[in-house]
Amino acid sequence: MEGEPLSALCTPALVVDLDKVKRNAKRMIERFEKLGVQLRPHMKTHKTLECADIMTGGSRRCIVVSTLAEASFYANHGFDDILYAYSVPFDKVEHCAVLSERLELFQVLLDHPDALEQLKKRPLKDGRLWHVWLKLDCGNGRAGVLHSEPEAIRLAQAIAQAEGVNLTGVYAHCGNTYNCKGVEQIQAVAQETTSLTLQFVEKLKSFGITCKSSIGSTPSCSHPVKDMSQLSEVHPGNYVFYVWRMWLCCVLTRVIGHSPHRNQLLIDCGWTGISLDGVGKLPTGNAMIEGHPNLKLVSMTQEHGRVEPISGPLDYSNYPLGTLLTLIPYHSCAAAAMHPVYHVHSEGQLVGKWTPTRGW
Amino acid sequence: MEGEPLSALCTPALVVDLDKVKRNAKRMIERFEKLGVQLRPHMKTHKTLECADIMTGGSRRCIVVSTLAEASFYANHGFDDILYAYSVPFDKVEHCAVLSERLELFQVLLDHPDALEQLKKRPLKDGRLWHVWLKLDCGNGRAGVLHSEPEAIRLAQAIAQAEGVNLTGVYAHCGNTYNCKGVEQIQAVAQETTSLTLQFVEKLKSFGITCKSSIGSTPSCSHPVKDMSQLSEVHPGNYVFYVWRMWLCCVLTRVIGHSPHRNQLLIDCGWTGISLDGVGKLPTGNAMIEGHPNLKLVSMTQEHGRVEPISGPLDYSNYPLGTLLTLIPYHSCAAAAMHPVYHVHSEGQLVGKWTPTRGW
């Protein structure tokens, strides 16, 4: 398929704009080089080797992953300095230990004293240390011990003092920036997460404990506030496929049916092709249809999407069967997760395929 | 892992109850043997060889698929008499032709005259015929030409008269039975779909055209109405993983976090583990949690689920980190689609793994 136009693809197909991915990756690298902050890109959106190479500038060092399957995949392909940024699950402690003993640097994360006990029960060989980040909830409301809880400082102290364990840093995710409207709101959340994380690290210093700090999310790292230069690391990920109001990956689909009795088109992309993320969140349904602002993806089943005009009757002569349409997904991570392969193009010409890892 | 208990699995994990799958498959086979109707089971829910063997009683003949990837996968493993029950997509006509020339019997489906033209433009080698089902919309409201449209009869005639093409039958899907409350409603929809399909076939007879008839969906085929015995075929599929109010596949997950500041638990199953199908449709959120009717899966991100009590404060001592929970998905097809492997058990003891095919 290499050298052929996008229209040569069978649909549904997830396509990635290589030039934009490279440009976005370069910008993020340069932005944090200037700020003097270590960029640790997150792999969860794409889970491919090729994109990881682009995001690390070819170093294959200093990445974050969301699953142990990703960690193993990257470790097996020469990547190192991997942070498994997921409250260490008890069923996966042994596998984490093996990676910690095998790689130069494998790091885990936790937010509960029972998890620390699990690590202590499995000391690493050859005098190696568990490298542990404390996950802090600074308002994001998912994993993490709440920053203001006295328990948070106690847990950090316990990690720092535990035998065979090193407190590497304090880690906060500001996924709540995705709900923000505009740069000002994003920067307010980024500022709060940064301040709370840095204050926490300062408080630890007063107890004689020094460690790193990291915050992340694509919106906050696309519009960094000044104080972020005081962080040790940042860990955005989604930016390779998405920047605020810009999409680098989309799903190609074709018209496969006309339903004049319902004023609808059928397309060959159902929820297996783009996921159900975004239902009810966009005026155009689960996706936007590039170049057709009056079309709405009203519903999907496993292999079918129903499309209708936002207003007025559909002119079927504009959409003969076989018409190629481009869906811009509500959530690029969720759309990518449905595809066993991504088709990569440069200016509309296919240049290769990327195969993601899956599972846990 | 074989011989080990379910608790030996790392989570999230999709587990399938082999005994129940076999029992359901046997019941469906026997039910339609008694009625004298050919059962053509649908593969879309599981997409595995092992389950296809169970559903076909080992014959490896007479199946329906939803993607060409499934068709190729089954053809490559000795299956035949395959119906690709999807309005034949123009980008896949050549691939369909190759399968039609290679298999004893490969059947396609269409609902538009332009699709018929595509088939006529690609005559099959060695005097073979395109075997074509006409897709009829009998109220389901997805693919299909509306049963009452004069266009429907005209299209059937055109298929029957086209050179190199055989009108195999009339095919209606009654997915609208899934929205029914109770057997009475299901049977009303099944009766209507059956009657409209049989009337359509009768009308074709008056034009000198004879062909088969097929309707399907798990609810209608689990509670068949008497007239269904006059059909040539039925094509349910979901019944191997689900029967009305009974679940044969579920997702195992573990507690990985406590969030007392939000009265919530975190589990290691996000939307990558169970899909977003069902959001807002169950009082318990996107899934039911077996044995814990007071727990609700309130939200999910990529790798996390948030669980909270429907009422009252959470007693965390009942849910220590590492606690194994069983999620009963809202939609088994959607949950299965997220997993690269299914873990199969018999009475809670692991007996094997099934690997589905993916893509299109």
Of A209, A236, A263, the domain-final residue: A236
Q: Decide if A314 touches B, using CB distance below 8 A.
A: no
E strand or H helix at A38: strand A38-39
The answer to whether B295 and B289 are in contact (CB under 8 A) is yes
- Residues B173 and B253 reside in one and the same domain: no
Number of structural domains in chain A: 2
Q: Which residues pair with A171 in a beta bridge?
A: A135, A214
Of B218, B236, B254, the domain-final residue: B236
Q: If you average pLDDT over residues A321-342, what whole number do you get?
A: 95
Cβ contact B256–A87 (<8 Å): yes
Q: Which amino acid belongs to residue B287?
A: A
In angstroms, the CA A358 to CA A46 distance is 10
A258-271 pLDDT per residue, tens: 999 999 999 999 99
The percentage of chain B sitting over the pLDDT mark of 70, rounded to a whole number, equals 99
Q: Which domain holds residue B304?
A: 246-354
- Residues B86 and B116 reside in one and the same domain: yes
Q: If you average pLDDT over residues B66-88, what whole number do you get?
A: 98
- Residues A137 and A286 reside in one and the same domain: no
In angstroms, the CA B34 to CA B32 distance is 5
Two structure tokens written together for B79: 């299956």
- Which chain A residues are closer than 8 Å to B266 by Cβ? 87, 142-143
**Beta strands B165-173; B130-137: pairing state:** parallel
Cβ contact B259–A137 (<8 Å): yes
Return the CATH number at A272. 2.40.37.20
Q: Decide if A12 touches B, using CB distance below 8 A.
A: yes
**Beta strands A233-234; A264-267: pairing state:** unpaired
The answer to whether A143 and A186 are in contact (CB under 8 A) is no
3-class state of residue A34 by DSSP: helix
- Which chain A residues are closer than 8 Å to B338 by Cβ? 337
pLDDT at A17 over 90: yes
Q: What beta strand segments (E) does A121-248 contain?
A: 130-137, 145-146, 165-173, 212-216, 233-234, 242-243, 246-247
Two structure tokens written together for A280: 């009810």
- Residues B231 and B250 reside in one and the same domain: no
Burial, A283: exposed, middle or buried (Cβ in 10 Å; 0-12, 13-18, 19+)?
exposed
Q: Which residue has the higher pLDDT, B132 or A333?
A: B132
E strand or H helix at A8: none
Judge whether B206 lies within some domain: yes
Give residues with Cβ within 8 angstroms of B281, minimum separation 6: B330
Cβ contact B261–A90 (<8 Å): no
The DSSP call for residue A143 is S
Judge whether A34 lies within some domain: no
> Angle at Cα B304 formed by Cα B298 and Cα B307, nearest 5°?
30
Q: If you average pLDDT over residues A265-288, what whole number do you get?
A: 91
pLDDT at A245 over 60: no
Mean pLDDT for all residues in chain A: 95
In angstroms, the CA A128 to CA A65 distance is 21
Return the CATH number at B200. 3.20.20.10
Judge whether A161 lies within some domain: yes
Q: Decide if B338 touches A, using CB distance below 8 A.
A: yes
Judge whether B26 lies within some domain: no
**CB neighbours of residue B64 within 10 Å:** 27
- Residues A90 and A209 reside in one and the same domain: yes
- With CA atoms as reference, report the closest residue to A143 among A103, A192, A109: A109
- Residues A206 and A332 reside in one and the same domain: no
- Residues B163 and B307 reside in one and the same domain: no
Judge whether A19 lies within some domain: no
User: What is the structure's pLDDT at B245?
Assistant: 55
- Residues A334 and A294 reside in one and the same domain: yes
Judge whether A18 lies within some domain: no
